Structure 1
Amino acid sequence: MPTPTHLRLRTEDPANLLWPFVGLFLEHLSQGRYHETRRRKYIASTLHFGDWLRARRIAPENIDEKCIRRFLSEHGSGCTCTYKTPSSPIIMRAALNNLLRVLRAKSLIGSPTPNAVETELSRFSSMLAEVWGLSPETRRQRCNVIRRLLAGKRDDGRTVLGNLNPSHLRAFIMGDERRKPATIRNIASAVRCYLRYRALLGDDIHHLQRAIPTPSFKPALELPRGLTPIELEQLLCASTTEGQTCKRAHAILRCLADLGLRTLEVTRLTLDDIDWQNGLVRVPTVKARRSDIMPLPAVTGEAIANYLVPERPATDCREVFVRHIAPIGEPIGRRAVQRSLHKAYQRLGWNRTRVHILRHTIASKLVNDAVPLKQVADVMRHRSVVTTAGYVRVDQARLSAVALPWPGDNS
């Protein structure tokens, strides 16, 4: 018995305001290899949005993020339409954001005009790249800080530095009392960098510079501890036991544990970076505009090869690790790397969340094996041995456990 029309998702409606764009949207979803069920939900959400646009007399060329937010808040949660629509706001938001990207990519609607703050951040980011040579991730983090700082600080379409005063600047950096000193230092560093940029443009920033707090740096009371060899072996075994992407998870953990890669370095590793014949790998560092050549351990290369051949989806993408859900074949993000490790923690029943612990593990092992500090710094890809020195501070608790009694001491 066929399902009644009012109980099926509506995926066809030639009279709908957005129907002319459904074909392009379907092509985009097909290229991303979205599942058929997800495609039906996205098209139904699009037609639902089209009905709302017609009722509000909003033309398709005026669609933007603000319009989507208004639809979701006014109509999406309290829908009284007679036909079936996707009930999840998350699904509808994802569908309409994808639709917006498709329409802008095809120049069917205009791109949003950048406001004064975004224009300022674009220039600031260019200066960070061209003059100071900072990596894209560092530029992104600093621009995010300055975006929050400049919120509302504009006049007639221009950002006005005069609207910033020392008390506001200090309150912004210090935040609430729960903010950690390391966070304060990072925010202060971004603000200090921005003020240097404004000084190069001719602004007087001395009164603002003096307001930037400088929290004292206190080394951690405890040494950064890594995993024991037994714990590391358990973790690597746990990454191969379950899941449709277990080979990808195991290869990711091998890159973290054997090469000491950072999360973003794993996501940016490409097929062209691996020299299989000579057993080398080029690591595209995220800290600066350079790459480092490292030996590729046999177990790491085997784990990557086991992922590439049977499990990695067919794709033109050159990144080693790609998505297994729509859009299939696109490079993974840092969250996918973190989830791979977190799932292994959960299978072992460990109350851990840190990814960086694997870098501590490899550094601690090298230090305990009496490897010279300069060589440890090379493996960790630290530009200064001062950074590496944090791994070789004296651990009083461990030292006392192996201390010999003083000659003649009978106590």
Structure 2
Amino acid sequence: MRDERGFTPTTVEQWTRVIGKFLRWCEETDRQLRSLQPEDVDAYLVTQARLWSRVSVANIASALRGFLRCAAERGMCIERVAASVSRPRLYQQERLPYAPDWSDVQRILADAETDKPRDIRDRAILLLLAVYGMRSGEVAALRLDQIDWAGGTLQLFRLKRRQPQIYPLVPSAAEALARYIDTVRPPSSCPEVFLCMQAPRRPLKAGSIYDVANRRFVALGIDAAHRGGHALRHACASRLLAEGLSMKEIGTIWDTAARRQPVSTPR
């Protein structure tokens, strides 16, 4: 997954969990990998599908198909098992992603607008999620050298594109980032922007970014199908759709360079 397909560490971790769960199911139902048949995989997907959405089923099917292909190449199972795994068809724009209303996003941002050190850090994180539609892993991986204060730009490495993209440093996000870096972020040799509030001062992980957003959803009693950083990314996309942009145009906004806007440089 890492070397041949170029997957990110997060995807490798997610697929590993999916495959591990499948192999445990095989063990519990007395199925051997070397004698696995297509109907065995079908039985697993049928028994488990009631717990998943169609998108989750599609992602899990992809993980299983990739693993079984790799296993077949190594003589660990028969080849036709992998070929039999099919994803449910997903239709473009068949539904909007689950997301909170933009008014709820504004409530979340306002809730973090205090002088408390944790809120100062969290507001910078929340703005990156809501304004730029960044994924939790992208926020966690953001480095200090990706912020060009003089040029007023933010260089992002989109996880799925695996290439840098340049965006304007929106004033609200620039102000929040500068305030966090100037007043809250401790001196550290770590290049990542966001660090733990308590020792050891390690960089935040993607799961911690989820927690930053989820805490606000819970505290404010915001009812949403999904909580966390990805919900704010979805809210960003929904807002752009409401303003008349197509899904293709939104993807273009997130995946192409944007014009520069000057902002003040932090101290």
The TM-score by the shorter chain falls in which range?
A: 0.7 to 0.9
The answer on whether the counterparts of 2:241 and 2:247 sit within 8 Å (CA) in structure 1 is yes
The alpha carbon displacement at 1:179 in A equals: 2.2
Aligned to 1:256: 129
Please state if 1:309 is matched with 2:182: yes
TM-score (normalised: structure 1) = 0.53
Distance 2:130 2:25 in 1: 45
Letter paired with 2:189: D
The answer on whether the counterparts of 2:65 and 2:82 sit within 8 Å (CA) in structure 1 is yes
Aligned to 2:263: none
Q: Helix, strand or coil for the counterpart of 1:240?
A: coil
Match for 2:12 among 105, 114, 139?
139
Assess, with a 3 A threshold, how the Cα gap between structure 1 residues 296 and 215 changes in structure 2: closer, same or farther: same
The alpha carbon displacement at 1:140 in A equals: 1.8
Question: Which 5+ residue runs of structure 1 have no aligned equivalent?
Answer: 1-127, 155-159, 383-411
Letter paired with 1:285: R
Taking only the aligned residue pairs, the percentage that are identical comes to 30
Distance 1:298 1:144 in 2: 40
Q: Helix, strand or coil for the counterpart of 2:216?
A: helix
Assess, with a 3 A threshold, how the Cα gap between structure 1 residues 229 and 163 changes in structure 2: closer, same or farther: closer
Match for 1:381 among 250, 255, 267?
255
The answer on whether the counterparts of 2:120 and 2:184 sit within 8 Å (CA) in structure 1 is yes
The answer on whether the counterparts of 1:363 and 1:380 sit within 8 Å (CA) in structure 2 is no
Please state if 1:233 is matched with 2:106: yes
Assess, with a 3 A threshold, how the Cα gap between structure 1 residues 362 and 263 changes in structure 2: closer, same or farther: same
Assess, with a 3 A threshold, how the Cα gap between structure 1 residues 204 and 165 changes in structure 2: closer, same or farther: closer
Distance 1:153 1:230 in 2: 46
Distance 1:300 1:361 in 2: 17
Letter paired with 2:216: A
The alpha carbon displacement at 1:252 in A equals: 0.6
How many residues get paired?
249
Letter paired with 1:338: Y
Deviations 1:31-54 (CA, angstroms, capped at 9, x unpaired): xxxxxxxxxxxxxxxxxxxxxxxx
Please state if 1:323 is matched with 2:207: no
Match for 1:366 among 229, 240, 255?
240
Assess, with a 3 A threshold, how the Cα gap between structure 1 residues 238 and 187 changes in structure 2: closer, same or farther: same
The alpha carbon displacement at 1:271 in A equals: 0.4
Assess, with a 3 A threshold, how the Cα gap between structure 1 residues 213 and 175 changes in structure 2: closer, same or farther: farther
Question: Which 5+ residue runs of structure 2 have no aligned equivalent?
Answer: 257-267
Distance 1:133 1:221 in 2: 29
Where relative contact order (Cα < 8 A, 6+ residues apart) is larger, the structure is: 2
Letter paired with 1:345: F
The alpha carbon displacement at 1:281 in A equals: 1.1
The alpha carbon displacement at 1:341 in A equals: 1.7
Please state if 1:279 is matched with 2:148: no
